[in-house]
Structure 1
Amino acid sequence: MRVDFEMRFTGGGRAQGMQFGGRPAVPTDLAERAVRAARAADTAIVFAGVTQDSSLESQDRSTLALPAAQSDLIERVCAANPRTVVVVNAAFALDMPWADRAAAVLLTWFPGQEYRPALADVLTGALEPGGRLPVTLAREDSDHAVTSTAPSDEDRLSYTEGVLVGYRHFDALRKTPRFCFGHGLRYADIRWRAAYLHADPTGRHLAVVGVTLGCGEERGGKEVVQVYAAPLTETGAAEHGRPEQHLAGFAAVHVAPGQERRIDIPLDVRDFSVWDTRTGGWRPRAGRWEIRLARSSRDVFHRFRVYVDRAGKLGAGPTG
């Protein structure tokens, strides 16, 4: 069959890419087939996500939801089999109203050409998932700090959210996300045992904070230790346009079966400073601080109270 077509560009437009081809007719009962297969299986796996041509720098998204047909498929398969794993292949945060009904959710981003064997190893337990969320997944689209990128009538787009974006925005508004920044699960049984904070003996850093990790005998695994710094003020940092806490450091470590590891994370003056627009530099924010040793932004293992003086040193001021 011969097909002739003509394409023209007018004005300043340009083509970033074009695909042309044919495909057979898609059966209308694919969802029903999937539900029947899931109902008969011990475990169901649903692959969802977006295509490369629908995730472009030049194309803003109007919603964080998956295509309606995919969301409907996930809902129906989860209802048919409670042991359903949803694998999401997307490069950005998504709305997941079905997450609580799935046995597990694996966010794989855009992993590259070794995706197939790597995914098989993670799903079968041969390898750890290992990752932690670099974004916050909200329960509702409206919970995000920015819900529209449309400019004003004067073609201006104001970034009024300031520094309160991501997990900082959710902290400021006391909103509970679906999955918080830094969240992630693993197969290994890794226990957090003892937290500590002390001066850096080398003098290169302000202090060192850390934890001792212990791993069960069955298998080793990866853990990500995170440290957040939170200024303790009378009225709350968010009311002054500053985050209530910020990530000050982290360390990703592998703990072997039956092994115990001590993890040190250095803290510097910069971690307790704010940008001074008058001087064009970082200025220590004197006062009481809380150092949070955590598994994620919402899962804190231990808290330390310290006092930072105007010189950017851990002083002898009030820490209670």
Structure 2
Amino acid sequence: MSGLSNVERVGCANILNLLPEVDLRSLCDTVTNKMIVVEDITEAKDTILVFTKNAEELLKRKKVHRDLIFKYLAKEGVVMSPTSEKHQLVKKALELWSSRKAVVDVKVQPETDDTRPDSTNVKAEVGVDAQALGQQFCRWFFQLLNSQNLSLGQQPENWGPQHFWPNVRLRLLTRTGSEQIEEFEGAEMVNLRLLAMASEERLFFSPNLESHGLKVLVSPHGLLLVAVAGTIHRDGSCLGIFEQIFGLISSPLQDNNWKIKFVNLKIRGQDALSGTEVVAPALSYNSTDLQLLCS
């Protein structure tokens, strides 16, 4: 997960707004070791913030020039000498954010005798319960997707490409007698292919959110991997089982909402199961398999 506090994230985003596009893209390549290709400057800023370990590291990057930090501090009402060196400006920016974070922390203290900070604010600062987040994501995703199946009589919810990163990838492996592999790239294409499963093929996905059906892993770079197994149904009949891996990255510039970076979906029909437990299928992926997707 990103090591930036909410205050630092806002400050760093404001500094990134001062960078020209060419420098933003270059900085994004540096921060991610060229692991992620971004579509536009908004995604570049998001990605830089997600992959930044701490605020000082970002401020010391070569592309974050001395003049940018000076301009930022001036806009924030912090007066510095025009001859200040970069390390002095970095120190002042960190002090500014630290003081503001202290104010925020005081404000979120509950007005009770119990002085423990509110749990949601703690999670925003020091990390999240990954397993609980994975369960929450799966409930949200499959309810949203299943609502597009009109044969179920539900009101369709707000499905669309906005839930995916622009360069999202989908790999679909289907084993129903023969094996078929499909690959799609881009938010619109991935969105339409998944939508077709529910709306045109009338598939209903029932995830197994128990511990043997759900595994969640967080990479040091802020990638959340959610792997889930479940059953697939149509018109009341069980067609087989599925295993699905989601790669999620939060978008700091969009209220830290998690968006889908990639999807690997494996579907096995009844004739390809050969005695596999169908009622509550278990994942065949282990933690090592998931860690390879993080590397």
Report the TM-score, using the length of structure 2 for normalisation. 0.26
Indicate the structure with greater strand content: 1
Q: Which has the higher contact order (CA 8 A, sep 6+)?
A: 2
| TM-score normalised per structure 1 | 0.25
Greater fraction of residues in helix: 2
